[in-house]
Chain A
Amino acid sequence: MKKSIIALSLLMTLSPLSAFAATAPLDLVGPVSDYKIYVTEEIAELVTQTQAFTTAINKGDLATAKKLYAPTRVHYESIEPIAELFSDLDASIDSRVDDHEKGVTAEDFTGFHRIEYALFSQNSTQGLEALTAKLNTDVNDLKTRVDGLTFPPEKVVGGAAALLEEVAATKISGEEDRYSHTDLYDFQGNIDGAKKIVDLFRGQIDKQDKVFLAKVDKNFATVDKILAKYKTPDGGFQTYDKVKENDRKALVGPVNTLAEDLSTLRGKLGLN
């Protein structure tokens, strides 16, 4: 008697999982295209703001250049799953000093982090003309290439996990923006980019696994709440060295869980 009740309740718990049909491929067309529209808008912002950022540098306005560095690159960070598909541009726009054998003196060390080094470590806007020109060319090139790219659906859906892995690997340690310590902007950019993907596919995920969705939402909320503590009145963030040790630790759990959970998204939506 008791056993059969347990068996019955177990059956009732499990049956919804099997009752749901797999996501119909055509149901993914709306979210994938909306994601491209989002990425397109973000890149338009990246292009415009990079222009303003580099103009400040070329005018020798160090204070403005420093102020614009983080809010400009956040538009790159939020769309990394797509931007990273172009390996040559990803290297020239966003490579870090560690990627280069010769470090800061490497000829091909260009892009945001090379400029970050000059602005924040050397406190100088001098001699950056070639680097600023190249950055503008590169972000424009990225825009053209993304416009012409048919987004691979598995890269879009897989992008949510890729962004969280990025956070786990480079943001919590504070190594991404090691000269400016503006890591929290990138952190929020990665999180927002991942949340956007979850939001766009929310309807389809909800049909497949409500419990999963609730857990993901909760972890996003936890991360956002901790990040919000470090927001400044101008809408920016404090530098990463201000983040308390207990908050860094408190971020690790939800970020790793999100990375792990979101890595199952492709499978859930039938894109493996």
Chain B
Amino acid sequence: MSSPTPQPAPPSRALRWAVAGSVVVMIAAGGLFYYASQLAASKRQANHNEITVTIHDHACEPNALSVPAGRASFRIVNRSDRAVEWEILDGVLVVEERENIAPGLSQVINANLLPGDYAITCGLLSNPRGTLHVTPTAESDAQAKAKPSMVAFIGPLSEFRVYLSGQGSALVKTTTALQHAIDAGDLGQAQTLYVPAREAYQRLAPAAQRLAELDNAINARADYFEHREQDPAFIGFHRLEYGLFQQHSLDGLAPIAQRLVNDVTALKQQLLAQSLPPEQLVNIVVRNLNSLADVRAASGEEERYSHIDLNGFAANLQVAHKVVELMRPLLSKSAAALLPTIDSALAAFDSELQGFKGDNGYARYDSITVDQRKQIADKAKALAAALDGIDPALGLSGLQ
């Protein structure tokens, strides 16, 4: 049994009129909507000084842009037949971009631009690059001369924390390797591995020295203890150094090495947990260089049993290089006059130390003459003085 299939009835005349009527209403509504959106678009343009850029199949229009420095809005209209991107480039680095702009649609890019010349990627990768010329304004000139704000230090300080993390891991790794050699009873290997562990420490020393107690457990010299080398409280790197290079013996070093591994592991954690204000970033390096210049260079007291002081100085200098690199963009912008002095002080200290480097690394410090030690101290002092100019020039101590 089957029910009769209902046949579609022919549309009545009334229905046809109704359909036609609703189409008219839809067109009218669409027109109104279009009008309203055009009005809104033109208002937007008027309100925000939006610059419209149209992406065609093979080029952007306009392809050469010029805007005043500061905030700019670009409305990118994609009139090509593919989803494309529009980017503002400073060299190869993207300043701002909008990806996947669908064909027929538009997107807005807001950018805060510094004066200069930028390139524009426009749609297909083979399309010619556009140009964006950003002209200075009274405001941008004033900003360029102004001291940086606290926000400007987030990047450099973050990068220094990444450095501490990486160097902290290197310190844990090299110290653990040293411990393993001691545990294995291999004196020669332990003497060899003492060097990279100390270098790793010295690449952190300016920051580590803020953590007084922990740093003493890791780096205190025998002089700080009542009974000097014989004092049971004498632990850390220099106690190992004393055993390895003075006594030529591994006796009693295993627990000291174990404790040192624990302490450098804690050091890494605490360095990452500490907040470092901008003025300290430069200040810790200045202090480290001053201690080098005032004490360590002349006396050679830091590595008095192993005489690898030069390795430590070179590692200290690497930290100074790192901090200068991190501050360089801010210095170029707000205190460019300091840079030549800083760079030449860095280069002078570099070449001074380089002079003591042979095929087997740095010379032993007990072979360095009094005059040479004075030269090293002078170079460190000059660098410390040059770096000391950064705080007042950038107003680090009074940052908001």
Which residues of A are at the interface with B, using a C-beta cutoff of 8 A? 24-26, 28-30, 32-33, 36-37, 40, 84-89, 91, 95, 98-102, 106, 108, 150-153, 165-166, 169-170, 270-271
Contacts and interface: CB of A to CB of B under 8 A. Distances in A.
Nearest to A36: B162
Interface in B82-120: 82-85, 87, 89, 92-94, 97, 99-100, 102
| Chain A to chain B: the 3 pairs with minimum beta-carbon distance, closest first | A169-B100, A33-B161, A32-B158
B126 A106 contact: yes
B124 interface: yes
B249 interface: no
A27 to B, nearest CB: 8
Contacts of A153: 151, 154-155, 158
B165 interface: yes
A166 B99 contact: yes
Contacts of B158: 28-29, 32-33, 36, 150-151, 153
A98 B151 contact: no
Contact of B155 (A30, A32, A166): A32
B153 A25 contact: yes
A100 B124 CA distance: 6
A20 to B, nearest CB: 18
Given A40-B162, A166-B100, 20 more contacts: A26-B275, A28-B154, A28-B158, A29-B157, A30-B275, A32-B155, A33-B162, A33-B165, A36-B159, A36-B162, A86-B94, A87-B89, A87-B97, A101-B58, A150-B155, A150-B158, A166-B99, A169-B99, A169-B102, A170-B100
B126 A151 contact: no
A184 B47 CA distance: 41
A86 B124 contact: no
A86 B127 CA distance: 18
B100 A30 contact: no
A28 B277 CA distance: 12
Contacts of B155: 32, 150-153
Given A100-B124, A101-B124, A152-B155, A37 B94 contact: no
Interface of A is mostly: helix
Contacts of A29: 154, 157-158, 161, 275-276
Contacts of A32: 154-155, 158
Interface of B: 58, 82-85, 87, 89, 92-94, 97, 99-100, 102, 121, 124-127, 149-151, 153-159, 161-162, 165, 272, 275-277, 326, 329
A85 B93 contact: yes
Contacts of A270: 151
Given A150-B155, A153-B158, A270-B151, A165 B277 contact: no
A150 B161 contact: no
A261 B93 CA distance: 26
B30 to A, nearest CB: 24
B94 A84 contact: yes
B88 to A, nearest CB: 10
Contacts of A25: 149-151, 153-154
A220 B82 CA distance: 30
A98 B126 contact: no
B159 A99 contact: no
Interface centre among B125, B127, B154, B159 (most CB of A within 10 A): B154
Interface centre among A26, A89, A100 (most CB of B within 10 A): A26
A91 B326 CA distance: 28
Nearest to B124: A101
Contacts of B275: 26, 29-30
A91 B275 CA distance: 38
A26 B162 contact: no
Nearest to A27: B275
Contacts of A101: 58, 124, 126-127
Contacts of A166: 99-100
B157 A99 contact: no
Contact of B92 (A30, A86, A98): A86
Contact of A26 (B94, B126, B150): B150
5 contacts: A33-B159, A86-B92, A87-B87, A87-B92, A101-B126
A108 B87 contact: no
A170 B84 CA distance: 11
Given A87-B89, A150-B326, A99 B154 contact: no
A37 B332 CA distance: 27
A98 B82 CA distance: 7
B126 A100 contact: yes
A166 to B, nearest CB: 7
Contacts of A271: 151
Interface centre among A98, A166, A270 (most CB of B within 10 A): A98
Contacts of B58: 101
A150 B94 contact: no
Nearest to B149: A25
Contacts of B150: 24-26
Contact of A30 (B84, B87, B124, B161): B161
A67 B126 CA distance: 32
A152 B151 CA distance: 10
Contacts of B92: 86-89
A102 B58 CA distance: 12
A53 B171 CA distance: 33
A95 B85 CA distance: 11
A23 to B, nearest CB: 10
A99 B165 contact: no
A25 B155 CA distance: 10
